[in-house]
Copies of this chain bind each other. A is one copy, B any other.
């Protein structure tokens, strides 16, 4: 699955998620929101996500495309799941 290859890289899902959550933002803003990401990695991920058609440059910096928002919607179940998962881990 080529999608897993793209998303299965450090910060790929995190960047897409964050960009959807905070809306269009500059490189530096995104870097701050992602806290521990390095600029080199952020830059790389952003380029990959642009080639993939999930992100593009817009007013206000980087933003998700329609396709990127679509993908985000399908990523959201994972967000919910992660709560269930946290509960599971604490019930050990």
In the complex this chain forms, how many copies of it are found? 2
Q: Are A2 and B88 in contact (CB under 8 A)?
A: no
* Residues of B close to A7: CB separation below 8 A: 8, 13, 78
Complex alpha-carbon distance, A80 and B70, angstroms: 11
* Residues of B close to A2: CB separation below 8 A: 82, 86
Q: Are A82 and B9 in contact (CB under 8 A)?
A: no
A32-62 to B contact mask, C-beta < 8 Å, 1/0 = 0000000000000000000011000000000
Q: List 23 A-B contacts (CB under 8 A).
A: A1-B82, A2-B86, A3-B82, A3-B85, A4-B14, A7-B13, A7-B78, A8-B9, A8-B10, A8-B11, A8-B13, A52-B85, A52-B89, A53-B85, A53-B88, A53-B89, A67-B88, A70-B81, A71-B81, A73-B77, A74-B78, A74-B81, A77-B77
